[in-house]
């Protein structure tokens, strides 16, 4: 594969939880303003890899790593980068929707406000909710709790909350696994819109979803990166036997 300078990259990355190595010597490049899917069986290391991209693993006491994780060419673990500011640039949406218990509007404005946002908050709320394809559904109840929304709406609110921090990258860790099919479709449509302005890396257990939303796919197995290529090639002509077996369902 060839593309311009990657926005995210790992070089010979190993990740350990205590003595257990959960990611093994992974080197991968994530191109800008594309969707990259990480697929593989449960426990293969894909969520751990995702969390290295914005240092979420730092919250795990027994975490350590070897190798490099680069954001726009800078090693995020060895530089003097301020971690809170860095996580603003690389946002994250989790598997289970986790809106704040406060109002829908406050879900959007809280992060920017504590980071010194000086713009018009009402305009920020509308802009972010529109980008998350949620404005028309909630514009008349912005003071209601975010927890009053449906699961799919809550997840889009969480995406809007991430957008409010003006990130360059949005990481998504199985964002549809707790949603019904209609809500899943809404999130997938949203991903197609968001990639015009953001780089997205998504962990998904749903291979059909990976095929629908991503341009690039990485297949991981037992902590190893088995194959990384264009999504159409991974799903139609994978080079590795393990990848073929997983794609056709031989793993059970």
**pLDDT one-digit tens code per residue, 163-191:** 999 999 999 999 999 899 999 999 999 99
pLDDT band at 244 (very low <50, low <70, confident <90, very high): very high
- Residue 2 pLDDT: 59
* pLDDT higher than threshold 80 for residue 101: yes
- Phi, psi (deg, nearest 5) at residue 119: -80, -170
Find the helix packing angle between 151-163 and 121-131, rounded to 10°: 120
Mean of the per-residue pLDDT values for the chain? 94
From first CA to last CA, the distance across the chain in angstroms is 30
**pLDDT one-digit tens code per residue, 8-64:** 999 999 999 999 999 999 999 999 999 999 999 999 999 999 999 999 999 999 999
**Residue 15 pairs with which residues in a beta bridge?**
23, 65
Burial 100-129 (b: 16+ CB within 10 A, else e): beebbbbbbbebbeeeeeeeebeebbbbbb
At residue 241, the 3 state secondary structure works out as helix
Angle subtended at Cα 76 by Cα 221 and Cα 157, rounded to the nearest 5 degrees: 75
**pLDDT one-digit tens code per residue, 73-90:** 999 998 778 888 898 899
Tell me the whole-structure pTM to 2 decimals: 0.94
* pLDDT higher than threshold 80 for residue 137: yes
- Residue 251 pLDDT: 64
Span 8-98+168-247: which CATH code? 3.40.50.300
Percent of the chain clearing pLDDT 70 (strictly above): 97
Find the helix packing angle between 151-163 and 104-114, rounded to 10°: 20
pLDDT band at 1 (very low <50, low <70, confident <90, very high): low
Ordered by start, the domain boundaries in the chain are 8-98+168-247
**Residue 20 pairs with which residues in a beta bridge?**
17
**Residue 98 DSSP class:** -
* pLDDT higher than threshold 60 for residue 252: no
Radius of gyration of the chain (CA): 18
**Which residues, in sequence order, are CB contacts of 55 under 8 Å at separation 6+?**
76, 77, 83, 86, 87
Counting Cα atoms < 13 Å in the Cβ hemisphere of 126 gives: 7
Average pLDDT (182-205) is 95
- Residue 85 pLDDT: 86
């Amino acid at each position: 594969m060839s593309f311009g300078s990657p926005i995210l990259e790992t070089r010979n990355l190993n990740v350990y939880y205590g003595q257990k190595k959960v990611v093994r010597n992974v080197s991968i490049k994530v191109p800008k303003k594309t969707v990259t899917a990480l697929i593989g069986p449960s426990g293969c290391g894909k969520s751990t890899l995702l969390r290295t991209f914005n240092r979420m693993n730092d919250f795990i006491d027994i975490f350590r790593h070897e190798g490099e994780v680069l954001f726009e060419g800078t090693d995020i673990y060895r530089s003097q980068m301020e971690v809170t500011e860095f996580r603003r640039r690389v946002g994250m949406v989790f598997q289970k929707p986790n809106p704040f218990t406060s109002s829908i509007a406050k879900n959007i404005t809280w992060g920017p406000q504590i980071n010194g946002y000086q713009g018009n908050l009402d305009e920020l709320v509308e802009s972010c909710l529109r980008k998350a394809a949620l404005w028309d559904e909630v514009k008349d109840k912005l003071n209601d709790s975010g927890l009053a929304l449906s699961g799919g709406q809550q997840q889009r609110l969480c995406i809007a909350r991430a957008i409010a921090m003006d990130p360059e990258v949005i990481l998504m860790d199985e964002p549809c696994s707790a949603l019904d099919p209609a809500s899943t479709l809404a999130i997938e449509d949203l991903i197609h819109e968001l990639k015009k302005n953001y780089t997205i890396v998504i962990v998904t257990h749903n291979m059909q979803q990976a095929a629908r939303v991503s341009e690039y796919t990485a297949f991981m197995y037992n902590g190893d990166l088995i194959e990384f290529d264009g999504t159409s090639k991974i799903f139609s002509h994978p080079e590795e036997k393990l990848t073929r077996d997983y794609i056709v369902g031989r793993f059970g």
